[in-house]
Structure 1
Amino acid sequence: MATSEIPDVKTKDTQLPLSRTKIIMKSSPGVENVTKDSVYLTAKATELFVKYLAKEVIKNNSSRKKIEYKDVAEFVQSSRKLSFLHECIPQKITFREAQARRQRAQTERAANRVEWEDSQEAIAEYFQRWSVPRN
């Protein structure tokens, strides 16, 4: 699509506010200026993506009239095409389960730290034992 084919940005054919889109785009590190065309195209692409996502989730849950977060999360987690969203849209878990996961992660980090420290000590002992003093 050539620049001349892009509709006038002042037209209201996007559902997302262009001013917010511009703020979000400029909040990225290294981005100083954004053109009106890039703001419009980003807003339009985002809108089309959200519509696609909603339609696919509705298609997967045709028995219900409304969709919930868990429906979107399940669809995202089951779709290879949407793997880039796995961390952004995780499946819901209970607070208790989140605490348990956090505790497991802390335990694993602590165990890895001990293994690392033990291996560093073993390496130091090895070199001390086999090093030849110079006279």
Structure 2
Amino acid sequence: MVDGCGLDLDWAIWGLIKSFRWAHIDAVHTNALERSITGDTGGDIGFLDHPEVYDGFGAPPALLPPELVTEIAHWLDAIGVGKAIAQLPEDGAEAARACGFEGFDGNLPAYLGQHFDVLRYFHHSAARRRLAVVTWVD
């Protein structure tokens, strides 16, 4: 979760993205969710591309400039996660499979909802302070 100026979404981000696709959430909102963790090309952050920061899993660190952080915060507000979660199968095991969480035995809607709210809060906080965000998956 939020730790100082960092954010750890656990594996929830992948379940959120899959739940948006499952629910056929429009591309604008799904892309905003994806960009919140993949960043944008460009930006002078190549200095972060080393083993102490980036372990080689996925793409190297990327930058979300302040104006894009604000845009993403807006789009995350506009859709919310409730619509995507409501479209998931009622059966917990089937919903977990739809999100790529085979064997998940917790409360999936609560798990996804909590992490989405933290993601939205993080982007709002950064946008309010006009901060850029560096993203990467580790």
TM superposition score category, shorter chain reference: under 0.3
Between Structure 1 and Structure 2, which shows a larger proportion of strand residues?
Answer: 2
* Higher RCO (C-alpha 8 Å, min separation 6): 2
Q: Which has the larger radius of gyration?
A: 1
TM-score (structure 2 length as normaliser)? 0.27
Name whichever structure is richer in helix by fraction. 1
